[in-house]
Amino acid sequence: MRRKVTKAIFPVAGLGTRFLPATKSVPKEIMTLVDRPLVQYAIDEAREAGIKEFIFVTSRGKGALEDYFDHAPVLEQELRKKGKDELLEVLKKTTMDSGAIAYVRQHKALGLGHAVWCARRLIADEPFAVILPDDVIAAETPCLKQMVEAYGETGGNMVAAMEVAPAQTSSYGVLDVKEDRGQVVLANGMVEKPKMEEAPSNLAVIGRYILEPSVLRNLQKMKQGTGGEIQLTDAIAEDITQGVPVSGFRFQGQRFDCGSKAGFLQATVAFALSRSDLRDDLLSFLHEVTSVDKAAQ
Ligand code: UTP
């Protein structure tokens, strides 16, 4: 029987430089898509996948994130007094059972691998998930839930994977494919941010992982890799050499790179269009601005 995945690490200690000046004082993960911060989408996805313990790797200046998951007694009391039950229900999703959430600090932004390693003491000898909140995935069945189901069959390490244009491989970890089974792909290795000419495939790793604790041991020994950072990709690839299989999982759904301005804007529009209370107004606005834009050209 495979062990259940009940813990997830959320690395949120990055500097978020692509969103400066906003991220000077607002953590990237608190920025909102319509009316929910990025981190809420990540938490909802994790819950639906059966995650019970939520571990955040934070850094200086991320206090708003801790407050977000806390109770807000004054606000709740006010809403109760006004009979705003719907809003109280919305707020419920933002709080956690006591002890279900933990925060550890990454003192220096030494890379994603290092951030995950900072949470090592909160993971026992068990598989765990990693979710990057700035990769937002719109899907009928949440991406991590799809992966947990597939992981029941495959075991080993599993990474979410997505085909990208060859020119984009230099922005991702890329899988060296050993065997393509369709939804699941077995990997020979993984390369972090390869140049287009050197990329072993165009199957890119996206921010959802189910990992064996051996990856944490590999991180312990890791030196800085591409870009001077400690790469999670390298620690996962290292497992292959030790006989732990690594599979890529082609998820069903649309991924938005909310760490970039263009991706964030696209996600905002897509999520707003999926809301019945916003769709019609937004559509007519988009229609209006795009036709004005076309006329101007
Ligand atoms: P990014 O590569 O998007 O970096 O990190 P960033 O610092 O967040 O943003 P930019 O590139 O400066 O705009 C991917 C994920 O890894 C986390 C980030 O918080 C994000 O969730 N991360 C990255 C860490 O937790 N620590 C690090 O040292 C680096």
Do the bridges between strand 101-105 and strand 53-58 make them parallel or antiparallel, or are there none, so unpaired?
A: parallel
Which residues sit with their C-beta closer than 6 Å to ligand 1?
11-18, 28, 57, 106, 109-112, 114-115, 132-134, 259
Contact 64, 40 (CB under 8 A): no
pLDDT of residue 80: 93
Distances (CA, A) of 288 to 180, 280, 283, 293: 45, 12, 9, 9
- pLDDT(2) > 80: no
pLDDT of residue 282: 96
Q: How many angstroms separate the CA atoms of 53 and 122, rounded?
A: 10
Burial tier of 212 (Cβ tally within 10 Å: 0-12, 13-18, 19+): buried
Measured by CA distance, the residue closest to atom 2 of ligand 1 is: 14
> Which H or E run includes 180?
strand 173-180
Q: How many angstroms separate the CA atoms of 108 and 266, rounded?
A: 31
pLDDT of residue 3: 83
Contact 172, 259 (CB under 8 A): no
pLDDT in tens, 103-120: 999 999 999 999 999 999
Ligand 1 centroid from CA 36, angstroms: 20
pLDDT in tens, 246-270: 999 999 999 999 999 999 999 999 9
Measured by CA distance, the residue closest to atom 9 of ligand 1 is: 16
Nearest atom in ligand 1 to the alpha carbon of residue 11 is 25
This model's pTM is above 0.85:
yes
- pLDDT(227) > 90: no
Q: Which domains does the chain have, with CATH numbers?
A: 7-259 (3.90.550.10), 261-297 (no CATH)
Nearest atom in ligand 1 to the alpha carbon of residue 19 is 13
Nearest atom in ligand 1 to the alpha carbon of residue 12 is 19
Tell me the longest C-alpha to C-alpha distance in the chain. 63
Pocket test for ligand 1, best of 132, 209, 226, 230 (most atoms within 8 A of CB): 132
Contact 150, 210 (CB under 8 A): no
- pLDDT(153) > 70: yes
- pLDDT(1) > 70: no
Residue 88's pLDDT band, with cuts at 50, 70 and 90, is very high
Measured by CA distance, the residue closest to atom 3 of ligand 1 is: 259
